[in-house]
Chains A and B, each alone.
Chain A
Amino acid sequence: MKLDTTGLESFASFHGEMDDLHGEFWAPPSFDLPVCADFDGFQKNAIQMVKPAKGTTTLAFVFKEGIIVAAESRTSMGGYVASQNVKKIVEINPYMIATVAGGAADCIFWHRNLGMKCRLYELENKRRISVAGASKLLTNMLYSYRGMGLSIGTMVAGCDEMGPSLYYVDSEGGRLKGSRFSVGSGSPYAYAVLDNGYRYDMPTGEAAELARRAIYHATFRDGASGGVAVVYHVGPDGWKKISGDDVRELHDKYYPAVQVPPEQEMMQVPPV
């Protein structure tokens, strides 16, 4: 199969009569393409197998001073960036927050529902609900809707009597207790930066910077992540928003533009 290069033929036509030797030299350029049905399919299939459906990057980790929760703020519908300013960290109550990944409507609705259930628990039992309990409530609700197309990948973080607790909950009904999670299409990129820089006894400032950096790197490589890198801290007294930085500004901060001297400069020809 040869590429169609008829558009280049005008170049050859300038040279009028050609003999055999020159004929091949002036023929329009072309090259063979691989003979197979769907050349790009292999790469596409490999990426499709890996790329989770949730176009976002969120992360959370437990450390000595509590929990850091971070997320970016882009919503994409396929290739279209619908918004760069979406709130992906939602507050359930003054001491518990959760992240949003997957279907935005699903996550926000069910988190509001969870907040209601937590408040009812508080009123009925005269004490705060534990993070384990709140995440279990959410899991049970989501499990009963299994297979009906909900798309939620969320992390519930809070400080209760057991100390700081972090749970990963998803719409397949899975629930994992852990100390370090990242969810979304940008999560593998974030995991790499997070795993490498993580130490349990970091001070809060360093932990927040680690989270910010991990989100930035994920937004750099993942098209479905971008916008603003938001970082929250959850301590024994409740949650607090630490920062919200546009990732483009973070890029300029981490990798400032260096003036590259031009290889060759156009010189002014001195007038004769």
Chain B
Amino acid sequence: MECVFGLVGDGFALIAADTSAVHSILVHKSNEDKVMILDSHKLLGASGEGGDRVQFTEYIQKNVHLYQFRNGIPLTTAATANFTRGELAIALRKNPYFVSILLAGYDKDIGPSLYYIDYIATLHKIEKGAFGYGSYFSLSMMDRHYRSGMSLEEAIDLVDKCIMEIRSRLVVAPPNFVIKIVDKDGAREYGWRESIKDAGVAAA
């Protein structure tokens, strides 16, 4: 029941993801962050089986950092997307990773971009995309209301519309979502949309 979706706006790209960690009927956690900050200007929203998701995204993150250490300059978003797709493709026929990824990044000369990378190593550069059961609702919502070059307020409004639609129509809808954006000032968390707060100790 995972929901990850993202879109590109005017000078920024954003990714929203649900934050439930689920095991059959049990919700182990409702504040699990599934959108990784890959480096200063890249976001990686992943959905898939628990172990694969964490291991694969951390592997990509460490390799992206390694490139920067070795060469002194960060990878571009397009290069990162192709590298990620390559790793999935190599593993596919041997030991596939069951993770689908939305990669959002900001490059100084190109601007914001969003890439769709499937678990069978499909790669597409897109303006808007979604994974998981939530995609059945968010894709058409975005198709209907998305325009190229939306402002941040309009984009967050569209994201909220998608989240509300998922909450009301998806049978076991995740209660909480996290929204992260990346623009010229870097990749950062924009906000949470919570309908259930975990009691006690602060979110991990």
Contact = CB atoms under 8 A, between A and B. Distances in A.
A168 B204 CA distance: 13
A52 interface: yes
Given A63-B200, A200-B201, A176 B32 contact: yes
A241 B178 CA distance: 39
B48 to A, nearest CB: 11
Given A146-B51, A181-B28, 6 more contacts: A142-B51, A173-B49, A174-B54, A176-B50, A178-B28, A187-B26
A52 B200 contact: no
Interface string B21-42: 1011110110010000000000
B201 A52 contact: no
B200 A173 contact: no
Interface in B164-204: 198-201, 204
B156 to A, nearest CB: 28
Interface in A2-50: 49-50
A175 B54 contact: yes
Contacts of A110: none
Contact of A200 (B23, B49, B200): B200
A139 B204 CA distance: 18
Interface in B46-76: 49-52, 54-55
Nearest to B200: A200
Contacts of B24: 49-50, 52
B28 A173 contact: no
Interface string A133-144: 000000100110
Contacts of A191: 26
Given A168-B28, A179-B198, A181-B28, A173 B204 contact: no
A224 B8 CA distance: 51
Contacts of A143: 51, 55
B20 to A, nearest CB: 11
Interface size class of A (residues with CB under 8 A): 20 to 34
A172 interface: yes
Q: Determine chain A's interface SS by DSSP, over half rule.
A: mixed
A117 B28 CA distance: 27
Interface string A142-183: 110010000000000000000000001010111111111100
B87 to A, nearest CB: 16
Contact of B50 (A49, A174, A200): A174
Contacts of A50: 24-25
Nearest to A142: B51
Nearest to B32: A176
A142 B113 CA distance: 36
A172 B25 contact: no
B29 A178 contact: yes
Nearest to B21: A176
7 contacts: A143-B55, A170-B50, A173-B54, A173-B55, A176-B28, A195-B199, A199-B199
Nearest to B25: A50
Given A52-B23, A143-B55, A172 B49 contact: yes
A188 interface: yes
A121 interface: no
Contact of A188 (B21, B26, B49, B199): B26
A198 B200 contact: yes
Given A139-B51, A198-B199, A177 B204 contact: yes
B26 to A, nearest CB: 6
B201 A173 contact: no
Given A52-B23, A178-B29, A181-B28, A173 B198 contact: no
B52 A173 contact: yes
A62 interface: yes
A150 to B, nearest CB: 12
B98 to A, nearest CB: 10
